[in-house]
Amino acid sequence: MTVRQPLVASLRAAYLRLGLAAVGALGLMLALLSMLTLRTYVDQNLTLVARSISYAAEAAAVFGDGDAAREALELIGAREGLLHAEIRDARGQVLARYDAPAEGGLAPAALDGIAAQLAPEASAPIVVRDRVYGKVRVTGNGGVYLSFMLKVLATMAACMAAVAAFVSLLSRRIDGELVRPLRALAALTRRARLERGAGLRAPPAAVREIHELGEDFNALLAEVEQREASLIATQDSLRTANESLSHLAFHDHLTGLPNGARFRERAGQVLQGQGGGTGRAALLFVDCDRFKEINDGRGHAAGDVLLATVAQRLRAATRDSDVVARIGGDEFAVLLTSVRGAADAARIAAKVAASLGEPIDHPAHGTIASSASIGVALAPDHGGTVEALMAAADAAMYRAKARGGGAVALFDADADPALAPPVAA
């Protein structure tokens, strides 16, 4: 039989290990970061001090004035808290030297070691008009930086001690604040599982309470997942049915094209979206010639072949952005979304009429003569709404049909005055 460790013992041990490890790692990281930051600051500061001395001692170095150089060196060295500083001329001879006065506290040997580690020497040349007249070398006071570092380390040690004490206190309160609520939750979950009459085998866990809780929660989770899968399947089925119904409501079952209602909706959207563009919209009203003769004389199947072929040819002769629809019976409508003008629309309509005029060779019905009369109307010249545009194109189509099969006619306000758009006042 597997003996599982109580949760409180496991959490106490884990809390202490993680807490102390995190505090130790954070303290070490902050100490290293402080040392690196301090070292960078010291290097930059010493370099700036050396440059300041080189600027202040330019005249003294040029004329070899040791007193002036010493005065500048002592002034800046005392102000910046330097340990050592010296100015050498171009031949390497010491022109001036500064040594900080000895102070009580740390031994000189310790100060020298600190200066070597935290405050290395920095130097700067004395250059006047591109000529080197000497060199400045400075050494910082390590005692100042050691004092700062000790304060930082003492603060971090105090913080680490406080965190460690807090972690230790928190680990003792685990049993009252964490274990008992988890046991109550496990009992509640078990009761809910038994009432619902479902069970599930969970993988074993090292901790006894977590093992029990995992069994109960996995049982409930299995039920939830099963019900969600059933709901998702039902939703998918309903979505598919709705999409099918929507397609049937707005598309023609024979040709697969949008029907009249769908065409009016899409055409209205195109007309509303126009404005500021480079093209205009044009509507082609297509009516099949001699469809009744073919449908009555050769049968409804031949008429269906004719309509389906007309739909295919209309799609092939237009662009994806154009809207093609079967309005009803043997009538089709095409909304050209972007044409340059009446001549361009008429050219496209002639191309469509030529495509529709090709005979149809069918294995069951033989050769079926095909042609269509097309009326063309432009927006907004011949109508600003879908209905007005369709009425204008329909009127033009009847004039095209009067000319004979396969003709194309552009809407003419003089030929159809009742359909002419109103003239703005």
Catalytic residues: 330
* Selection from 106, 175, 97 nearest residue 141 by Cα: 106
How far is C-alpha 175 from the geometric centre of its chain's CA atoms? 45
Distance separating alpha carbons of residues 190 and 186, to the nearest angstrom: 6
Q: Is there a contact between 379 and 393 (Cβ–Cβ < 8 Å)?
A: no
410 by DSSP, 3-state: which? strand
Beta bridge partners of 86: 97, 137
Q: Which two tokens stand for residue 351?
A: 């191309």
Distance separating alpha carbons of residues 141 and 115, to the nearest angstrom: 6
326 by DSSP, 3-state: which? strand
Q: Is there a contact between 20 and 164 (Cβ–Cβ < 8 Å)?
A: yes
Q: Is there a contact between 364 and 317 (Cβ–Cβ < 8 Å)?
A: no
419: DSSP letter:
G
Beta bridge partners of 134: 89, 126
Q: Please give the angle made by the CA atoms of 343, 346 and 349, to the nearest 5 degrees.
A: 155
Q: For residue 155, give the amino acid letter.
A: T
Give the containing element (helix H, strand E) for 288: strand 280-288
Distance separating alpha carbons of residues 24 and 30, to the nearest angstrom: 10
Backbone angles phi, psi at 140, to 5 degrees: -75, 165
DSSP 3-state percent helix, strand, coil across the chain (nearest 5): 60, 20, 20
* Selection from 125, 31, 140 nearest residue 84 by Cα: 140
Q: Which two tokens stand for residue 379?
A: 């927006």
The position carrying tokens 């330019």 is: 58
How many other CB atoms sit within 10 Å of the CB of residue 34?
Answer: 16
Q: For residue 246, give the amino acid letter.
A: S
